[in-house]
Amino acid sequence: MDQTSSRPDGIEVVFSPATIAERIEALSREIMAAKFDRLLVIPILTGSFVFSADLLRGLHRAGLSPEVDFLSLASYRRGTKSSGSVDILRDMELDVSERDVLLVDDILDTGRTLAYAKDLVAARGARRIGTCVLLNKKVRRAVDISADYVAFDCPPVFVVGYGMDLAHRYRELPFVGRIAEA
Ligand code: IMP
Ligand code: MG
């Protein structure tokens, strides 16, 4: 089955599996070159779980052996609009004090989620904080923040797939897609 035949109706491919895979190799080498010490990778759930899984294996191929712990945050509570506040749904298990950490998220949009996560690990005493996102949406930033590692700049449209959802659907798609205009 090719990629087109496994694409649900009304979803257009924005970044293909091959494009994503190639970018992850480059990103992994960049992160390797940054020489983090005893790196702890922190995927921000839920949206980043697919990207993080692929990135972790890219980091392994680049020669890194990071530890991993998850932080589950929610900022989108209804539909496609950001509520403006961030909640911890499930906290991390590991102590980040004096550690080099890499926060990984799916999308940097208003910036509230990543800023919240950064402030949280900084308040807990992390020594060095890197940030990595699959997609950078530049136009809706509400907080002054940028990511250290960005896989792709993304157009200001709602995207799904590759871990990202619309009302809990489409996370399983192997590509980043957008809902086509009716
Ligand atoms: P921010 O806090 O506004 O930067 O939003 C970041 C979070 O919002 C991401 O981690 C995503 O979970 C979610 N988000 C933002 N834009 C999209 C989108 O186009 N599709 C799916 N989720 C999105
Ligand atoms: Mg998210």
| Successive 10-residue mean pLDDT values, the chain, 182 residues | 65 97 98 98 97 98 98 73 80 98 97 96 98 96 96 95 96 95 69
Ligand lying closest to the C-alpha of residue 171: 1
Q: Three-state secondary structure along the chain?
A: CCCCCCCCCCEEEEECHHHHHHHHHHHHHHHHHCCCCCCEEEEEECCCHHHHHHHHHHHHHCCCCCEECCEEEEEEEECCEEEEEEEEEECCCCCCCCCEEEEEEEEECCCHHHHHHHHHHHHCCCCEEEEEEEEECCCCCCCCCCCCEEEEECCCCCEEECCECECCECCCCCCEEEECCC
In the residue annotation, 95 being an active-site residue is answered as no
- The pLDDT assigned to 76 comes to 60
- What ranges do the domains of the chain cover? 17-76+85-154
Is the shortest distance between the CB of 134 and ligand 1 below 6 Å? no
Q: Of the residues 100, 109, 148, 165, which is catalytic?
A: 109
For 17-76+85-154, CATH gives: 3.40.50.2020
Q: For residue 1, what pLDDT is reported?
A: 41
- What per-residue confidence (pLDDT) applies to 106? 98
